[in-house]
Amino acid sequence: MPGSVLGTEVRRVEDPELLRGEATYVDNLPIPGAAHIAFVRSPFAHAEITGIDTGEAEQADGVLAVYTAADLDLSPVRQLMVVNPDCVRMPLASERVRFVGDAVAAVVAETAAAAADAVELVDVDYEPLPVVADPEDALADDAPLQFPDLGSNIAAGERDEAGADILADADVVARARIENQRVAVVPMEGNAIAVEPGGGYLGGDYDLTIHVSTQMPHVAWQVAAKQFGMDADRIHLVTPHVGGAFGGKIGMIAEHQVVIAAVLRLDRPVKWVETRSENLQAMPHSRAQVQYAELGLKSDGTITGLHCNVIGDCGAYAGFGGGFALGPTRLMSQGVYRIPKISFGSIAALTNTTPTGAFRGAGRPEAAAMLERIIDVGAAELGMDPVELRRKNFLQPDQFPYETLVGATYDSGDYDLPLREALRAADYDELRKEQQRRVDAGETTLLGIGVSTYVEITGGGTSEFAAVEMADDGRATIKVGTSGHGQGHPTSFSMLASDALGIPLERIDFLQSDTAQVPRGGGTGGSRSLQIGGSAVREASELLVEKAKELAATKLEAAVEDIEVTGDGGLGVLGVPSATVSWAELATYAAENGTTLAADTDFTPDGASFPFGAHVSVVDVDTETGKVTPTRHIAVDDCGRVLNPLLVRGQQHGGAVQGISQALWEHYTYDEDGNPSTGTLADYLVPSAMEVPMLEASNTETDSPLNPLGAKGIGESATIGSTPAVQNAVVDAVKHLGVRHIDMPLTPQRVWQAIREAQNGAPADPWRDPPEAFATLPVREGPDPYADEAAV
Amino acid sequence: MQGSDAVELVRPDTLEEALAAKAERPGAVPLAGGTDVMVELNYDHRRPEALVDLTRIAELATWSASGGHVRLGAGVPYTRLIDELGDTLPGLAMASRTVGSPQIRNRGTVGGNLGAASPAGDTHPVLLAAGAEIEVASVRGARRIPADTFYTGVKRNALAPDELITAVHVPSAAVPAEQFSKVGTRNAMVIAVCSFALVLRDGHVGAAIGSAAPTPRRVPDAEAFLAAELPWGTDAPLPDSLKRRFGELVAAATEPIDDVRGTAEYRTHALGVLARRTLTWAWDDHRGSVRACA
C-alpha cells in the first residue's frame, strides 16, 4: 500500500507520558480518604485452622475492621478455566490452608503501615498437616491429600488409549523426562486495586467504582457484578496504566473480592497494593510441568510417532495452570512436524504450593520446549544435524490449512522460511566450524548452537468490540475492548484508523479499559489484540467511511460511488478537486441532520491463528565451572503481516528475554515443607541487561487468511521460541561428551554436574518411567474441550 | 510498630555520640547503607531494640593513604571505593564491582559488609588475602583486629557489644597483583555461590575463600605452597602443575554446605577452578610489573 502508514516504523504515541512519569497507576490515583487492606497469610503449606482471634488486631490504632471468611459472605474464587469444580477456593480460607501465602484474614486500617502492623496481631491457630510440594510425589498412593473427598491429588487427567504402542514401528526412540520448571510472573507492578463507594472521585451515578490493574477489565467487571449480585450498569470499572501483566492479571482474584466486600461494608474507599513478597507468593505461578516424552524415529530421521505423559502442577485449589497439560500443551504437541501418530496422557496434579495460572505463552511454551528438546535428543541419537532432522519432518507450505492429529487447524505456514533466515543471520556453518575447532583444540570454553522451530496458537475464541467516532473538531476517537498495557495499542490502532480516515495520528484519541466508555471487551491476552481488536478498529473505521461517504454525497451533491477519502483530512468527489468536505464539517453536518458520524462493530475472526518461527541461540559453556554465557540470540518470528515493525521488535525482545531467562535463571522452588525457597528477588533470578546478549530480531511475513490485517499474534512467540533454543544450545555444547539432556534452569552447578558425570563415563540417562498414575487415567473421548481455551 | 516492639532510631552526628549510644544500648544495630539490615527488618527476621544510624557521621565516610596503607572509613560506599581507590586497592575494588547493583553499591559499605559478617560477603576474601586490619572503637577506646581473627562464626564477628567498626586498614598494592573472582548464577544482584581472592606481594601470598565455610577464611596450606614455589622476581610463566596443585590445596581447605544456591561438592570443585584461574591472572599482573621494571 504505497503512501500508507501501515507497515512502517511509527514511534509509540503513548511513550512520552510513560517516560515523563505522568502515567497513572492504581497506587497513585488521587482517591480521597482511602483506607488500606493487608492480608493475614498462612505460614504453613497445609494445615487445619482451629481458631482465629482477631480481638487484639481490632483494638489496634488505626484499625477499621478485621475480616475472616465468617464475616464476609463471599463467592468462591472464579478462575479463568475450571480444572476441577470440586476443588473450591474461598477468597479467605476458613477450615484449611493449602499453600504458604493462602489468605486467612484481612485487616482494614487508616494507613498501610497500621494494617501491616495489625496483621501481626491476628492470632491464627493452625494444626499442621502433611505436605506435598512436588507434583510427582503428589501422585504417590500414600501422598497427603489436599481435597480428601477427591480420593487423590489428580484434579483432572486423561490419556489416549494407544500409549507407547505407537512407537512400535520406530527404529530408534528418543526418550527424556523433561522438567519445565515453575516460574513466577514478576510484573514490575504487582496486583493493585482501589474500590470506592458510589461514583468515587471520577463521579457518575454508580453504586461502586473499581480501579484495578488487570489485563481484562470487562471480564473483571462482569465477574464482580455476578459475584456481588449487582447490576453491571451500577458498577464503574476502570483500569489505569498497568505495570506489566504477562498473563498474571486475569479476572477477579481472591484479594479483589475481599477488597470489594470491605468497601460494601465500610462504605469508604479501600485499596490494596500488594508487596513484592506477596506477589511472589500469591500471584499465580506458571509452567510447572514434568514431561515424559518419547519420539519414534526411522534411522533416516523420519518421525514415526510421539508419546507424551505430562504432569501439570496445579499448585493449590486446582490452579488452572495445571490444566494446560490437558489443554494447550497437548494441542500444540505436534509442533511444525509431520507426525503420523501421537498418544498423549495428561495429569493436572494438586500440590501445596501457590496456585498456577498463565504466564506469557500459557501451555504453549511447554509444548514447544518438550518437542524441540526431544527432537534434539533424537538428532543426537541418530548422529544427525538437528537442523537436518527438523527439515526432514517439516509440514510443507502446500499442506495449509492443516488439521493436526490433536485437533488444531493451522491457518498458514512456511516453516523453513524463518529457519533459512535464522541460519543465514547466524552464519550456522561457520558456527559449527568454530565449535569443532574449540573441541579439537581442547579448549575449556565450548561453543553451543541451539535451534528451535516452533508454532503456537493465538487469538483463539472470542470477538472484539471497536468503535470509531468523529467529532466536529475533526478529531477521531477510537474505543476498543482490548486493554493494552505496554503493547502499543494506542499507536497501532491509531495507525489503522489514520490509514482508513486519511487523518494524521495526532488527530486520533484512544479510549480503552473503562466500562463507562467502552460497552464490552475481551481484554488483552493470548496475543489477540491486533489480530482481533485491530481488525475491529479497521472494520469500524471502514464502516465510518461508508457512513461519511453517504453524508458527503448528499452534502456535495454527488453519487456515493464517486466519493473518496482525500487523504488530507476529508472526503471529496473523484476528479473534482474543488468538491471536498473536511471531517470536521462532515461531523457538524451529521449533527445538523440528526445523526452522528460514528460506527462500531464486533469483529470475529475465522479462527485462531498460528504464528511460527525459528530461533538460534549461541552460548559459551565454561566446562570447568558449568557457567553458561549466552552470546547471541537470533529470533526470526513470523506473525503474519506486520503493521508496525518497531512494536513487533519490542515484543520479540521482551519475549525472548523472558524465554532466555527461563532457560538459564528463573526457578521458583519449595522445600519439602512447602516453604518457598526462592521467594525474594535476591533468590528468584530475573535477568538484568547485563545478562542478556544483543538480540538479533527479524521477521518473515506469512499472512493469516483469517483476518483482514493478515496478522497473527506476536506477544508470546519469542518466549516460546527462545527457551528451547537456549536449552538446546547448552546441551549441544557438551553433547560430544555424551550429555543428552540437562534440565532448566541451566545453572552452573547443573551443567557442571552433567559434564562431570559424562567425563566419568556415566552420563545421566535422561529417561525414567513415568508415574504409574498415568495408566489409571480415563481414556480421552470426543472433541477436545480445551481447544478454544488455549490462549491467555 | 506497636508498643513494646517499637524500634528506637538513634541518629548521632559525631562518632563520640555514636559510641555513647552504642555503650548505652549494646543491643542496638548500627545502620550504614542498610542493604543488609533493612532487608532483615523488612522480613521481620530481626527486630532490634534500636538502630544507630551512622550516615550522619562525616568522618566515617572519608579515606586517607599513608605509609603504604589506606585507612578506609567504614561508611565509604562501594561506588566511591571503586571510583577513588580502584588503582590503590585493586582487589577490593574488583570485589566491590561485583556487589549488587549500582543502587546497592551507592549505599553499601565495606564497614557494613564486615558488620553483617555473612559467609557470602563479597569483600571478605579480599580483606583476608590482603592482610587488612579492622579498626573498631568504643567509649573504652579504639583497637585493631586482624581480618583473620575478625570472623568468628556464621554472621558473627569479633566485636564487643559496645563497639562499632570505624575503618579498615588495607595495605595498598605497589604492584597490582590482586585478583577476585566468584561464581554466581546471574552476573549482577546475586549472592555468590562461592568466591576467591588472591594477593601476591614481594614473596607474600594471601589467599582466601568465601561462601565455602562457616566464615570467610584464609587457606594457609595453599598460601605457603605458593609463597615457596612461585618464581618471584622473574616473568616466567607458571607451569600447569603448579596451578593445579594450588587449586587442589584451596579445594581441600573448603568446608562448604549444600544450600539452595549450590551443593558443597560444586563449591569445592568451583573454588579449585577459581583458584587456578585467579593465580594465572595475578601472576600475569606480577609478570607485567617485572617486565616494566626491567
Same domain, A379 and A495: no
* Three cell numbers written together for A299: 534411522
How far, CA to CA in Å, does A133 sit from each of A13, A45, A82, A125, A313? 46, 8, 21, 22, 10
Question: How many whole angstroms separate alpha carbon B256 and alpha carbon B246?
Answer: 18
Domain count, chain B: 3
Same domain, B269 and B202: yes
Residue range of the domain that includes B68: 59-171
Interface test with B, best of A622, A624, A661, A686 (most B CBs within 10 A): A624
Interface test with B, best of A277, A281, A625, A628 (most B CBs within 10 A): A625
- Cβ contact A627–B188 (<8 Å): no
What pLDDT is attached to residue B289? 83
**Sheet with A563-565, edge to edge strand ranges:** A563-565, A570-573, A576-582
**pLDDT higher than threshold 90 for residue B149:** yes
Domain boundary among B171, B197, B216: B171
The answer as to whether B294 is a domain residue is no
Which of B187, B188, B273 has its CB closest to that of A624?
A: B273
A445 contacts chain B (CB < 8 A): no
- Cβ contact A749–B193 (<8 Å): yes
Same domain, B245 and B144: no
Chain A residues near residue B264 by CB distance under 8 angstroms: none
Interface test with B, best of A107, A278, A744, A747 (most B CBs within 10 A): A747
Mean pLDDT confidence for A237-259: 97
The answer as to whether A305 is a domain residue is yes
CATH of the domain at B20: 3.30.43
The answer as to whether A4 is a domain residue is no
Band the pLDDT of A787: cuts 50, 70, 90. very low
**pLDDT higher than threshold 50 for residue B1:** no
**pLDDT higher than threshold 90 for residue A235:** yes
Same domain, A468 and A569: yes
* Three cell numbers written together for B179: 585478583
- Neighbouring CB atoms inside 10 A of A578's CB total 6
Same domain, A365 and A472: no
Band the pLDDT of A781: cuts 50, 70, 90. confident
Smallest Cα distance from B40 to chain A, Å: 12
Same domain, B140 and B198: no
Place of cell 476528479: A575
CATH of the domain at B143: 3.30.465.10
Could you give the residue ranges of the DSSP H alpha helices within B60-218? 78-85, 90-97, 102-107, 110-116, 124-130, 147-150
Same domain, B26 and B47: yes
Mean pLDDT confidence for B147-163: 95
The answer as to whether B3 is a domain residue is no
Smallest Cα distance from B25 to chain A, Å: 25
The answer as to whether A699 is a domain residue is yes
Same domain, B75 and B100: yes
Kind and range of the H or E run holding A347? strand A342-350
Which of B183, B186, B273 has its CB closest to that of A691?
A: B186
Band the pLDDT of B292: cuts 50, 70, 90. confident
- Cβ contact B260–A277 (<8 Å): no
What pLDDT is attached to residue A375? 98
Same domain, A598 and A502: yes
Same domain, B233 and B146: no
Chain B positions touching chain A (beta carbons under 8 Å): 1-2, 39, 43, 101, 183, 185-191, 193, 260-263, 266, 269-270, 273-274
The answer as to whether A427 is a domain residue is yes
Same domain, A596 and A510: yes
**pLDDT higher than threshold 90 for residue B174:** no
Same domain, B210 and B279: yes
The answer as to whether B235 is a domain residue is yes
Place of cell 501422598: A143
For the segment B107-133, what is each residue's pLDDT rounded down to a tens digit?
A: 999 999 999 998 889 999 999 999 999
What pLDDT is attached to residue B262? 87
What pLDDT is attached to residue A131? 98
Residue range of the domain that includes A120: 31-129+191-242+249-282
What pLDDT is attached to residue A56? 98
A665 contacts chain B (CB < 8 A): yes
What pLDDT is attached to residue B146? 98
Which of A688, A691, A749 has its CB closest to that of B266?
A: A749
The answer as to whether A764 is a domain residue is yes
- Cβ contact A691–B188 (<8 Å): yes
- Cβ contact A665–B266 (<8 Å): no
Which of B1, B191, B260 has its CB closest to that of A669?
A: B260
What pLDDT is attached to residue B185? 79
User: How many contacts (CB atoms, under 8 Å) link A and B?
Assistant: 60
Mean pLDDT confidence for B261-273: 93
The answer as to whether A156 is a domain residue is no
Chain A residues near residue B193 by CB distance under 8 angstroms: 748-749
Question: How many whole angstroms separate alpha carbon A657 and alpha carbon A81?
Answer: 28
Chain A residues near residue B186 by CB distance under 8 angstroms: 665, 685, 687-688, 691
Domain boundary among B171, B205, B223: B171
Chain A residues near residue B122 by CB distance under 8 angstroms: none
Kind and range of the H or E run holding A259? helix A254-266
Smallest Cα distance from B42 to chain A, Å: 10
What pLDDT is attached to residue A688? 86
Same domain, B70 and B160: yes
The torsion angles phi and psi of B170, rounded to 5 degrees, stand at -125, 125
Lowest mean pLDDT among A638-642, B45-49, B134-138: B45-49
For the segment A513-571, what is each residue's pLDDT rounded down to a tens digit?
A: 999 999 999 999 999 999 999 999 999 999 999 999 999 999 999 999 999 999 888 99
Question: How many whole angstroms separate alpha carbon B49 and alpha carbon B36?
Answer: 17
Band the pLDDT of B187: cuts 50, 70, 90. confident
For the segment A684-708, what is each residue's pLDDT rounded down to a tens digit?
A: 999 988 889 999 999 999 999 999 9
Same domain, A341 and A483: no
- Cβ contact B186–A685 (<8 Å): yes
Same domain, A589 and A661: no
- Nearest CA-CA partner of B282 in B180, B179, B205: B179
Chain B residues near residue A745 by CB distance under 8 angstroms: 185
A625 contacts chain B (CB < 8 A): yes
Q: Which residue on chain B is closest to A691 by alpha carbon?
A: B187
- Cβ contact B270–A625 (<8 Å): yes
CB < 8 Å from B in window 737-756 of A: 745, 747-749, 752-753, 756
Interface test with A, best of B122, B181, B189 (most A CBs within 10 A): B189
The answer as to whether B2 is a domain residue is no
Chain B residues near residue A59 by CB distance under 8 angstroms: none
Same domain, A547 and A535: yes
Is residue B251 within 8 Å of B225, Cβ to Cβ?
A: no
The answer as to whether B200 is a domain residue is yes
Lowest mean pLDDT among A109-123, A500-514, B165-179: B165-179
The answer as to whether A185 is a domain residue is no
- Cβ contact B185–A685 (<8 Å): yes
Same domain, A504 and A399: no
Same domain, B102 and B159: yes
In whole numbers, what is the pLDDT of chain A averaged over residues?
96
**pLDDT higher than threshold 50 for residue A1:** no
A730 contacts chain B (CB < 8 A): no
Chain B residues near residue A677 by CB distance under 8 angstroms: 260
Place of cell 605452597: B225
CATH of the domain at A358: 3.30.365.10
Is residue A202 within 8 Å of A236, Cβ to Cβ?
A: yes
What pLDDT is attached to residue A3? 74
> If you write DSSP's letter for every residue of A506-572 in order, what string do you get?
GGEEEEESBTTT-S----S-TT-IIIIIIHHHHHHHHHHHHHHHHHHHHHHTS-GGGEEE-SSSEEE
Q: Which residue on chain B is closest to A671 by alpha carbon?
A: B260
Band the pLDDT of A678: cuts 50, 70, 90. very high
Domain boundary among B171, B197, B219: B171
The answer as to whether B214 is a domain residue is yes
Same domain, A509 and A366: no
What pLDDT is attached to residue A788? 43
Which of B190, B266, B269 has its CB closest to that of A685?
A: B190
- Cβ contact A120–B2 (<8 Å): yes
Q: 3-state SS of chain A: helix, strand, coil percent to 5? A: 30, 25, 45
Q: Which residue on chain A is closest to B42 by alpha carbon?
A: A277
- Cβ contact A690–B187 (<8 Å): yes
Domain count, chain A: 3
Which residue spans within A625-746 are E strands per DSSP? 628-638, 695-699
- Cβ contact A60–B193 (<8 Å): no
- Cβ contact A678–B260 (<8 Å): yes
For the segment B22-59, what is each residue's pLDDT rounded down to a tens digit?
A: 999 999 999 999 998 998 888 888 889 999 999 999 99
What pLDDT is attached to residue A2? 45
Chain A residues near residue B183 by CB distance under 8 angstroms: 625, 627, 748
Which of B2, B186, B261 has its CB closest to that of A60?
A: B2
- Does the pTM surpass 0.90? The reply is yes
Q: Which long-range contacts (CB under 8 A, 24 or more apart) does A756-765 make?
A: A756/B269, A758/A734, A763/A737, A763/A738, A763/A739, A764/A739
A165 contacts chain B (CB < 8 A): no
The answer as to whether A140 is a domain residue is no
Is residue A331 within 8 Å of A790, Cβ to Cβ?
A: yes
Is residue A615 within 8 Å of A634, Cβ to Cβ?
A: yes
Same domain, B44 and B95: no
Chain A residues near residue B273 by CB distance under 8 angstroms: 624-625
Same domain, A540 and A614: no
The answer as to whether B201 is a domain residue is yes
A693 contacts chain B (CB < 8 A): no
Q: Which residue on chain B is closest to A661 by alpha carbon?
A: B186
- Cβ contact A677–B260 (<8 Å): yes
* A649 contact partners, CB below 8 Å, separation of at least 6: A697
Interface test with A, best of B266, B268, B276, B277 (most A CBs within 10 A): B266
CATH of the domain at A86: 3.90.1170.50
Give buried/exposed letters for A320-344 (b at 16+ CB in 10 A, else e). Answer: bbbbbbbbbbbbbbbbbbebebbbb
**Prediction ipTM score:** 0.90
What pLDDT is attached to residue B294? 67
Same domain, B75 and B165: yes
Lowest mean pLDDT among A101-110, A648-657, B283-292: B283-292
How far, CA to CA in Å, does A6 sit from each of A570, A643, B218? 19, 5, 65
Compute CA B206 distance to the chain's CA centroid, rounded to the nearest angstrom.
13
- Cβ contact B260–A682 (<8 Å): no
Same domain, B17 and B78: no
CB < 8 Å from B in window 89-128 of A: 117, 120-121
Domain boundary among A603, A631, A664: A603
Same domain, A633 and A742: yes
Question: How many whole angstroms separate alpha carbon A203 and alpha carbon A32?
Answer: 13
